[in-house]
Structure 1
């Protein structure tokens, strides 16, 4: 059996948990559950957990990634590709501060996110499995959305920039319809959404 736990920010806010709370979560989960990445084998006699973090904001690299190392864990990271820069000249303090005003409704700055350089480092560690989160964190069920751009192009960019196959797509806002799902299945082996559910396989 499989449950995916969804996280967002690594600081205390509406969509986040403080680093201290996250560390308590990780400590408990490490002691009590097998933690798996997409397509890992599942123990049929136990509930396996997949840790999923949306949006690839800089706090993941700065706070969550070191905690994954400390607790020997691994996680899925959903990347909105259109916001990712190659690198940044902003300081860590400036990047974390920018997250306090973060919103996808107001064109968040690229330094709020992990850079491609940081994503590549994490990919090489084998602790982080990269998923596409589309190009622009768009509700894909809305009319007029360029599904080829959001689903296909985002995948190709990630594979080219990170030199790794991309198997997974995480629906922004958990929104999709039959057309979106059919298109996603053409390009990805796995899709993830927000919602309650117990899975028995990938």
Structure 2
């Protein structure tokens, strides 16, 4: 049998506009740690059963403020997707002001400069130096790579080089902005990254090293409502996996 991997997609864990609470997220993370091995690509997998991969998009400041301490506390790893264009070197703004920018407005109206809702390069460097946070590219300006007008060189190649140069760490994963991609985009991504993560609403049958593709599911309905990862959900995600493969998605 093959270990099945469920890659969970998160954005914010503290956002008053969506009534998201980091205390609730902390309880859900404790539930996951208690019931499943939590892995990133390259970690050894059990022979069967379910493993969980944690992925966080956009690198909002609440990841550094709330998630990163929990990862250290539980000694588990997560992948953080970063779009370098929106990252500033450092800031003296207080935490409350930075957390007050609601999702997904952080990338609008130059707020990344004036309100600094995302992690700074300084904060990202601290996390990249730790054992618990793997940095992934998330495009340079978070462009939709299903669009033919996207600047693929900038989004795929330049984003990787900038992250690696600034953070002095290997960037082996690309997380598609909006979860969307094209065959052309994935061909480029596969040439320079170990894996590309997309939204597929399904689980994964191990790490797909041939296609370099990892499906993710939207985790917000799970953690905000404390829904378990039970047999019913696993069956639904398994069916969607095979539908994705039949449709060559």
Over residues 11-51 of structure 1, what are the superposed CA-to-partner deviations in whole Å (9 max), with x where a residue is unaligned? 24677731121011111011100001122121122211001
Name the larger-Rg structure.
Answer: 2
Contact 1:50 1:75 in 2 (8 A): yes
2:200 corresponds, among 175, 195, 199, to 195
TM-score, length-normalised on structure 1?
A: 0.93
Aligned residue number for residue 65 of structure 1: 68
1:128 aligns with 2:133: yes
Structure 2 CA distance for partners of 1:121 and 1:190, relative to 1, 3 Å: same
Structure 2 unaligned residues grouped into runs of 5+: 208-249
Structure 1 CA distance, aligned partners of 2:84 and 2:170? 15
Query: Following TM superposition, where does structure 1 have runs of at least 4 consecutive aligned residues deviating by more than 3 angstroms?
Result: 12-17, 103-108
1:33 aligns with 2:46: no
Contact 1:35 1:49 in 2 (8 A): yes
Q: Secondary structure at the match of 1:136?
A: coil
Q: Secondary structure at the match of 1:21?
A: helix
Please report how far the alpha carbon of residue 190 of structure 1 lies from its aligned counterpart in structure 2 after TM superposition. 0.4
Structure 2 CA distance, aligned partners of 1:126 and 1:167? 15
Q: Secondary structure at the match of 1:98?
A: coil
Please report how far the alpha carbon of residue 68 of structure 1 lies from its aligned counterpart in structure 2 after TM superposition. 1.4
Aligned residue number for residue 148 of structure 1: 153
Structure 1 CA distance, aligned partners of 2:20 and 2:47? 31
Aligned residue number for residue 178 of structure 1: 183
Structure 1 CA distance, aligned partners of 2:10 and 2:172? 20
Structure 2 CA distance for partners of 1:121 and 1:37, relative to 1, 3 Å: same
Aligned residue number for residue 234 of structure 2: none
Please report how far the alpha carbon of residue 162 of structure 1 lies from its aligned counterpart in structure 2 after TM superposition. 0.9
Structure 2 CA distance, aligned partners of 1:31 and 1:132? 29
Over residues 78-99 of structure 1, what are the superposed CA-to-partner deviations in whole Å (9 max), with x where a residue is unaligned? 0011101111121212211234
CA RMSD in angstroms, aligned pairs only: 1.8
Structure 1 unaligned residues grouped into runs of 5+: none
